[in-house]
Every structure is written in C-alpha cells, then in structure tokens.
Structure 1
Amino acid sequence: MTIEIVIGLPHLNEGPILARARAMVQPALISANALSRWSKARGWPEWRGWRLGQLANAQGLASLDLDSAGFVAMKRYGGYAWSIDDYFRLASAFPFRRIASLDYCTEHEIAGDREEVLDRISRTIRANRDCRDRARDLGLADRFMPVLQGRMPSDYERCAEGLWWSMQPGAVVGVGSMCRREIAGPNGLVAVVAHLDRILPAGIRLHIFGAKGAALPWLKAFGERVASIDSQAYGIAARRDAHRRRVSKTDAFVADHLQRWTRLQFLRLREPARPMPRFTPPSDPVPALDRWESAVAAARAEMRALIESGDLDHNELTAGWIEQWAADILQTR
C-alpha cells in the first residue's frame, strides 16, 4: 500500500490553488484556523466563529481532512480560541474524511521544559477523549482521528497508552509535532515512527502531520504502518522563490509550486526504502530535586492524572494553581 500524499491548503478561497488541487485529484487538509473569522474592532484579534460558507468551495476535491490547528493556536494566540463544541460545529458542517482531535503540541518554542512536555501529553490525552465523545454524540465517530503527542519516542508511547480505546485495527492515528523535527537522530521523525511501529498493535496506521517529503524513503520501510503524510511546505518554497526572483507570490505562483512539490513526493516514493538509521535511544532525564521542586513535580503529576481521568478540564493547568497545589503537598508531608 502506497503512502498517501495529502496537500495542506492555506485556505478554501476559489482560485488557482483550489483549482489546481481539484485538477490533481489529491486528498487535501485544511486547518481550523484557515476557516476562522477574526475581528480587530477592539484593537486585538478576537475569534468570531467559522466561515462555513467557504466549505462549499471544497466540493470537487478528492477528499478533505480537518486539522485542529494546534501549533498555530498555541503560537499565535497562546491556546485554542475555540472550544471543543465550537470545533465540532465546524466538523459537522462538511463531510470531512478525517476529523483530527484537538491536541497540545510539544515543539521547543511551545513547551520549554520537560515538565511542560509531560503536561501537554496529559492535556492531549484528555482532549482526545473529549473530542471522541463529541464525535460519537454527533455520529462522526467513524471519521474521528486521534492524535498522539510527545517529544521523545517514549512520550508517544505514553500518549498511546492513554488513548488505548482508539488503538483498534483499521484506525488511522495522527502523529503530531513532526513538521519541525529532524528526520534522523534519537528523537527524530524516523525514531518516533519506528518506536510506534514496535509498540502499536497490527492494523493501526499512522498519519504523520507535516512530515518532510525527504523522509518518505525511510517511511516506506515501515510497510503499511504509515498511511499518509501532509505538508504545506510548497508554500514556504514559493515564498522563498518569489523573494529570490523578486516577483509577487500570487496564488497562481503558489499553485505551480504545489504541483511541483507533489510530483517530487511521488518521485521520492519510487526510491528504494531506506533502512532504519542507527542511534542510541534517548533516556528520560531524572534531575535531582530539592523539597520544593519535588512538591511541584508531585503536584504536576497529580494534576495530570486528574486531567486524564476527566476530573480537571484539559485547560485548567496554570502556574499559580500548580504552586498552590505544591504548597498543599508540602503542608501534608
């Protein structure tokens, strides 16, 4: 089975990019942020709902997947501007092929330390469960795609364990925080996929969000485990090319890059599968902690467990609350 190349679309405006995607008969993906309405009437951006009318323009595409825009939401707005109910109003407005869960990305510019990575894994587990429940309520369970998060390969295993209910043969599971990740290395894209390939049951397939096209010959080595990748890398290439040539980056210009990029990915898929690179698996660092740091770590661990169990909302982890929780722990010791 061939790895599917999914085109990440910057918008659903009628024009050259959308027309080219239709003509190429390639599956596509759109970010929730690309369909958002924003207002600056008060001097700062405020989310005002969805541009649902644009979804009519998606008719004629081979298929369309929906992504929650986790990285953009964290990077630009400091968190999701939309709730799970809001997100599923969008998800139910069009027959999307796959509806990705909300998740909490772990890139270095978002999660600055190890504790924050672990916090975001727990929040991802809870967000997945809440999204699954909403998908079931709306009759969208067959289109819901769970999403795994992590920094190290073992993190993704931890996340998969928390989402055991989704690990059923035939499921397609998203793998997040991939687009800025190196291909090789102990925490590289290939290492994460190889670890998931070892620990996941047979029949579960992976969608790699934002995978570099250069990784395709390595991903081929995993047989049918990798279902698909998506990328909007052609947009970055178009911006660089336009700057180099001192021309305008029109949608027609971007559409040409989209077609060239897609052809290149198919050429990469024809290359022989490359063997797994050798590296030493990373270990999870365990720093020495003083009494206060130990209490903070214990508070975080307890709060993560409550988030995963549903006793705390996945957005209720704040620095002030963690410190108060840690102080309470110290008083009881």
Structure 2
Amino acid sequence: MPIDIIVGLPHLNEGALLARARSLQQTALISANGLSRWSTKRGWREWAGWRTHQLQNARGLSALCLDSAGFVAAARYGGFPWSIADYVALASAYPFRWWASADYCVESEIARDREEVIDRLSRTIRANRDCRKLAEDYGIADTLMPVIQGRRPDDYERCVDALWHSLRPGMPVGVGSMCRREIHGPEGLIAVIDHLDQILPSGVGLHLFGVKGTALPFLLPYGRRVASIDSQAYGISARRTAFRRGVPKTDMLVADHMEGWIDAQRARLAGRPLQLPQSLPPPTDCTPFDPWEQAIAQARAEIRDLIEAGELDHDELTAPWIEQWAADIYRDSLAG
C-alpha cells in the first residue's frame, strides 16, 4: 500500500485553503489547538473550550483526523491547557478517521535530560490509557490511534510493551517526536522505524507525525509498515515567500504552497527507495553505582510506575517528592 500523505491544516475557516483541500480530496489533519477558543476576560489569555462549530466546515474533505497538539502544548503553554476529558469530548464531536491519543513529546527543547525523557514516556503511557477508557465511554474507541513517544528506539519499545494489549492489525499507531529528528544515526528516524518494524505485530501501521519530506525516499523500504505521514511545513514556506515578496500571507498563497508541497511529496514517494545500511550500537547502560544515585533512580522508577498505573495523575508535579522518596529507599538499603 502507498504511504498516505496527510496535510495538516492550521484551521477550518472557510476560505481558499479549505476549498483547495476539498478540491484535492486529500486527507487532512487538524490540531486540537487549531480548534481552541481563548479568553482574556480575567486579564490574561486562558483556554475557554472548543470551536466545535468549525467542524461543520470539514464536510466535503476526503477525511479528517485529529491531533492532540502535544508539542505545541508543551512548547507554548508548558502543558495541556485542557484536560484529557475535554480532549476526548472534542474527539467525539465529529466522525474523525482517527484521533490521536494525548501524548508527551520528548524533543530536546522540551525534555532536557534523560530522566525527563523517561518521565514523559510514563505520562504518555498513562495518557493513552486514560484516552482509551474515556473513548470507550463515548463509543469512539475504534477510531482512537495510540501514540508512542521516545528519544531512542528502545524508548518507543517501552511504550509499545505498555500498550501491547490495545494494538491490533489494521490500526495505525502514531509515532511522536519525529519532526525535528535526523534521518541518520542511532537515534535517527530510520533507526526508530526499523526497530518498530521488527517488534510490532504484523498489520499494525505507523503514522509519522511531522516527518520531513527529505526523509520520504528512505521510508519506501518500509512501505508495508508506514501507513501515513503528515506535515504543515508548507505554511513555513508560504510565510517565507510572503516575507521575501513583501506581500501578505493570504489563504490563497498558503493554498498554492500546500498543493505544491503535496505534489513534491508524491514525487518523492514515486522515486527510488533509499537505504541507510549501518550497524547501530546498543545504548549504554547508565545505571549509577553510588548508593544515593541508585536510590534516586529507584524513586523515579517507582513514581513512574504509579503514574502508569493511574495512582498518580500524569500531569501531577512529582519532582519535589523524588529526594524524599529516595531518602526512604536509601535508609532502607543501609538498614538492610
């Protein structure tokens, strides 16, 4: 099956951009952030619900998918301004082809060290479980797309293992933290996809969020595994063109860039597959030898387990507890 090109839309306002998406009959993706309402009534900008009326404008599109806006929420707001329940309610407001589970991205500007990466994996696992439980209540579990996160290939495997029971043939699985990832290297895009291809059940396809167009020829050998990609990179191109020409960034200009981007991706997918033969070294074991550092590591692991099990909320601030938690572990080790 060919890799499906899904075009990210910044909004669902009637205009040249949406009309072009309809005419191209291209599957579209809208972000929860693009459907958000904001208020400044209390003197600051705060989230005020969804603009669900805009979903009526999606009629006529080939299909529409929904993204939780995990990266934007982390980078712009420091976290989701809406609850998981709010998000699943939005997912129930329209017959989306699929809607992505909420997730916690791990790009370097968001997760600045290894411990924070692993913390966000646990939060992603818990958010997936919370989304599935609420989706079952709304009767939309069949269109929920699990999302896995990671910095290294084995990080994604941790998410797969935790969500294994919910994976089934024919369903897509979203792969996050892709858009800023290099193609090459032990943590590169191909290393991640190759690893997932080896561990996932047959028939489980991958949706790659925000993959760069230059990576597409390298994905062709994984055509049976990679189901779809999405991007809104054409918007950046349109902004640069408008700035260079000294003209407004109109919806028509953006629509032209969108169509050009789609044509370019189709050409890349019709080209010659590229491969990166390489031997990837296994990740090094960074288990600390110092007893206090071991206690800190154990405390973090136990707190993550509680988040994944639902005993602690995935958005709960746990950093102040770690040293106190570790102190108890440290004392127990000395007593033993």
Give TM class, smaller chain.
over 0.9
- 2:9 match: 9
Equivalent residues in 2 for 1:29-178 (5 A)?
29-178=29-178
C-alpha deviation, 1:73, in angstroms: 0.5
Q: Which secondary structure does the structure 2 equivalent of 1:47 belong to?
A: strand
Count of matched residue positions in the alignment of Structure 1 and Structure 2: 333
- 2:191 match: 191
Q: Which secondary structure does the structure 2 equivalent of 1:66 belong to?
A: strand
- Is contact 1:152–1:282 with CA below 8 Å preserved after alignment? no
Equivalent-residue separation in structure 2 for 1:292 and 1:58 (angstroms): 56
Residue identity matched to 1:66: L
Q: Deviations over 1:135-163 (max 9, x none)?
A: 11111011000000000011111111011
- Is contact 1:303–1:317 with CA below 8 Å preserved after alignment? no
Residue 225 (1) aligns with residue 217 (2): no
Report which stretch shifted further, 23-32 or 220-229.
Answer: 220-229
Equivalent-residue separation in structure 2 for 1:73 and 1:44 (angstroms): 17
Q: Which secondary structure does the structure 2 equivalent of 1:71 belong to?
A: helix
Residue 292 (1) aligns with residue 292 (2): yes
C-alpha deviation, 1:41, in angstroms: 2.7
Q: Which secondary structure does the structure 1 equivalent of 2:2 belong to?
A: coil
Equivalent residues in 2 for 1:198-217 (5 A)?
198-217=198-217
Q: Deviations over 1:189-234 (max 9, x none)?
A: 1111111001111111000000111111111101310000000000
C-alpha deviation, 1:325, in angstroms: 1.6
Equivalent-residue separation in structure 1 for 2:234 and 2:285 (angstroms): 37
Equivalent-residue separation in structure 2 for 1:170 and 1:317 (angstroms): 37
Equivalent-residue separation in structure 2 for 1:284 and 1:165 (angstroms): 29
Q: Deviations over 1:41-97 (max 9, x none)?
A: 333221111011111111111000000000001111111111111011111111111
Residue identity matched to 2:107: E
Equivalent-residue separation in structure 1 for 2:72 and 2:285 (angstroms): 29
- 1:24 match: 24
Q: Which secondary structure does the structure 1 equivalent of 2:173 belong to?
A: strand
Q: Which secondary structure does the structure 2 equivalent of 1:206 belong to?
A: strand
- 1:263 match: 263
Q: Please give the root-mean-square deviation of Cα atoms over the aligned residues, in Å.
A: 1.4
Residue identity matched to 2:299: A
Residue identity matched to 2:258: L
Residue identity matched to 2:180: R
Residue identity matched to 2:6: V
Equivalent-residue separation in structure 2 for 1:131 and 1:39 (angstroms): 26
Equivalent-residue separation in structure 1 for 2:281 and 2:30 (angstroms): 34
Residue identity matched to 1:37: R
- Is contact 2:287–2:294 with CA below 8 Å preserved after alignment? no
- Is contact 1:219–1:226 with CA below 8 Å preserved after alignment? yes
Equivalent-residue separation in structure 2 for 1:329 and 1:44 (angstroms): 43
Could you say if the C-alpha distance between residues 326 and 257 of structure 1 is closer, same or farther in structure 2, counting changes exceeding 3 Å? same
Equivalent-residue separation in structure 2 for 1:165 and 1:183 (angstroms): 30
* Runs of 5+ consecutive residues of structure 1 not aligned to the other structure: none
Equivalent-residue separation in structure 2 for 1:123 and 1:201 (angstroms): 24
Report which stretch shifted further, 226-235 or 271-280.
Answer: 271-280
